[in-house]
Structure 1
């Protein structure tokens, strides 16, 4: 009898064990990205729970059913996350990493400064990916790879538009030097947006247009891949407003390498050739101190501008903060009403003298942005590239961040796309995608991790979005999974008070785009609906194939848990079929980079200790 009782209990234990799911992850501070110790992780309405260790890590056994996880800690706003059986299956062994926001009630106790209350970001080795070795010390913000989100519990996905391309040229630099890039250097949206896609420019009153389409997802055949494209109005260089530019150039000792200051000089001379007589340029430099080497000079005096550039030499420490202040003062002194007033910063980002605090720099740049002076950032060189600082400064300054690894890249950024780089047609651009649960059970935004916004941020004009320049395109990809229940009603009406919307007929999703005109502080919004219509592969545009190939390539480089059946062979097949005319040769170059990555991945590449995508494994 005891034997049978033992077997029965053992069977029940086995069933119970199989009905559980072990979930792991890391809890970090939203602002600083530092791990938070002692966070309570609990299954809502039960006694099942655990706490995070000194590294912010947790492990919890949860029932294999629909539950809500609650993450709470003293000083932080608690966060509830629905977790369904479907999401558990989709996310497989991927960790659930969570960020907690410091409670507004406690902000004054966290940071005290002369500029008011703010949360300072962390830029130390404890919260950055640092690439070390062979005299290289580079820093990248950690990326928490996006996961699948349940549509019924959260049908709205909101993010800021982004046309930065720095990550692609930086990845190219690593591959061309014979090394795979660190995972946190791979920002998927910047890889995808490096390429120009042939969307039609807007024809209405709005300066941007939206396009949508959908195909079967190559790396997950049971899923679909949605493409959302945004195209900005095109303006010929002759019709651009007059420019008031200040070249702010880092001439510190760290800029002495050939791929730094000498390349900066060549790049800015190429830009100078594009200037018109109505444009003006001043040159400010900083090293141990900051100074003006050329007062504001009309674009017709190209020889004087290029002579000033040729005289620059590297040496000394880096008073970056003082240089930025001087550049903004110079831009303000020569301000052009209804013109393009912009500081162009060229540096490796190694600020170590003066206002080097990231938060102080961000505050200064944000204040000047509100006065109509924008900031574009050009990153140069390798060895001590501070990618994290440069990207954030450009974001705060309503400008673009580009990494210049070659003279050809400088020509593309500063000559080929002159108008887009220097003239913004829409600022604070935000996208909000509403998914219909009838068609979409779960969705995952590919990339844009540092551009995600809260649902309510979409209607908040005080919340920054992204900037789009003349002629620029923005592409976003969503991987979507079918609904759990195939018998959902054909249309669902959701309560507006819950910030949801009404879905009709065959609309699979609706895209809302909100933007401000460059000189306006109030926003406008318009929408585009997409019906469920999966394109057959022989009708898929080359541009869509190319974006898909680049996304899969980025996931392979990050070793993402969501790469599914993606492989270098699949990427090459897609890219080769999407090559098209390729006048500039960028797609052919991409194919060669994929081949290099494939070879490096088969061996033992340098920096293998930072190759894994820590948020997706």
Structure 2
């Protein structure tokens, strides 16, 4: 997805100094590198970076796919590498459990912060059997709820190639279950592994409905980035249902298009509707969006319209403004 390429990199955005205002909004404009008549408008949010001593305790349940499809080197072995990255960063108050699923689901590691126990449990895992993802998710949620930390992070982290053996009705039931559980405060993140039968769309949908995030891991380096360097942004939420709305001034911009984010677009009326779910942002997280715009009077992608030159006086008065960015979120 285009937006994943854009957001893969860290940008030198100004950062907020306290959680009183959890974001900064950073904007700039440049000539489009592929069309000299267009401009790129970059809008970047930067989240508050949570200091180590401020981060809440974590109750993490790893739900690991150990079915036969996970046997290749870029799947289960890489899952183990990713988890070892995390095991070395736990505090005394954190808890990690491991649930596995293949033909059946089972708890293989009771909640612990003992790095050695986590590594020993990982060493004993092998891939084999068919996939029964739904039963695994239900068990993982039960374990998360039984070990809930009030005021802490309670999250299920699913590691899989997404090759669930579930039909359409089961998939809808799965999404319904995940939506219901997020209301109780247990969220879901997804780590995708491998190629070939990778069910990318399914995994993104599951993470979106679970108020979590979805990351694709294809190397030990990427495992370190997601569960090491960016652990705060992956686990610790500073704002939920974050929505961005951009209005362009027709006196300055005649045409515009958002680059990527096709499956994240909200209807205009949903921006102010707090019942409509949107994305969550973690500590230190950045979100970048690019708009390609055609300056007023320039030749754009669609032919000229009969009334497009009839810009109202108010737009001309605000000609020093190209766009107006609105941000809405819940603490």
Encode CA deviations 1:27-59: one digit per residue, 9 max, x unaligned: xxxxxxxxxxxxxxxxxxxxxxxxxxxxxxxxx
In the alignment, does 2:57 pair up with 1:234?
Answer: no
Shift of 1:491: 2.5
Residue number among 245, 249, 272 corresponding to 2:60 in the alignment: 245
Contact 1:430–1:466 under 8 Å retained in 2: yes
Encode CA deviations 1:205-248: one digit per residue, 9 max, x unaligned: 22111111111222111111101010000012332100000010
Shift of 1:468: 1.1
In the alignment, does 2:258 pair up with 1:445?
Answer: yes
Shift of 1:439: 0.7
Contact 1:251–1:312 under 8 Å retained in 2: yes
Encode CA deviations 1:272-314: one digit per residue, 9 max, x unaligned: 11111110011100000101011112x2x11111111111111
In the alignment, does 2:100 pair up with 1:285?
Answer: yes
Aligned to 1:208: 23
Shift of 1:269: 1.2
Contact 1:368–1:374 under 8 Å retained in 2: yes
Distance 1:306 1:237 in 2: 24
Aligned to 1:295: 110
In the alignment, does 2:314 pair up with 1:491?
Answer: yes
Shift of 1:254: 0.7
Aligned to 1:416: 229
* Bigger-Rg structure (1/2): 1
Distance 1:455 1:384 in 2: 36
Aligned to 2:303: none
Contact 1:322–1:354 under 8 Å retained in 2: no
Distance 2:166 2:72 in 1: 20
Aligned to 1:197: 11
Aligned to 1:321: 134
Aligned to 2:300: none
Contact 2:249–2:319 under 8 Å retained in 1: no
SS at match of 2:253: coil
Encode CA deviations 1:71-116: one digit per residue, 9 max, x unaligned: xxxxxxxxxxxxxxxxxxxxxxxxxxxxxxxxxxxxxxxxxxxxxx
Runs of at least 5 residues in structure 1 that lack an aligned partner in the other structure? 1-186, 494-502, 518-617
Distance 1:390 1:505 in 2: 44
Encode CA deviations 1:119-148: one digit per residue, 9 max, x unaligned: xxxxxxxxxxxxxxxxxxxxxxxxxxxxxx
Contact 1:242–1:279 under 8 Å retained in 2: yes
1:490-529 → structure 2 map (5 Å cutoff): 490-492=313-315, 504-517=318-331
Distance 2:312 2:208 in 1: 42
User: Normalising to structure 2: TM-score of the pair?
Assistant: 0.93
Instruction: Please give the root-mean-square deviation of Cα atoms over the aligned residues, in Å.
Output: 1.7
Distance 1:512 1:358 in 2: 35
Residue number among 117, 123, 134 corresponding to 1:304 in the alignment: 117
Distance 1:228 1:191 in 2: 15
Aligned to 2:268: 455
In the alignment, does 2:154 pair up with 1:331?
Answer: no
Contact 1:341–1:373 under 8 Å retained in 2: yes
Distance 1:338 1:267 in 2: 26
Contact 2:252–2:319 under 8 Å retained in 1: no
Distance 1:399 1:277 in 2: 24
| 1:306/1:505 CA distance change after superposition, 3 Å | same
1:64-103 → structure 2 map (5 Å cutoff): none
Aligned to 1:41: none
Residue number among 338, 345, 348 corresponding to 2:158 in the alignment: 345
Contact 1:319–1:355 under 8 Å retained in 2: no
| 1:487/1:322 CA distance change after superposition, 3 Å | closer
Encode CA deviations 1:487-506: one digit per residue, 9 max, x unaligned: 7455239xxxxxxxxx7352
Residue number among 207, 222, 234 corresponding to 2:37 in the alignment: 222
> Could you say which structure has the greater relative contact order, defined with CA pairs below 8 angstroms and 6 or more residues apart?
2
Aligned length: 320
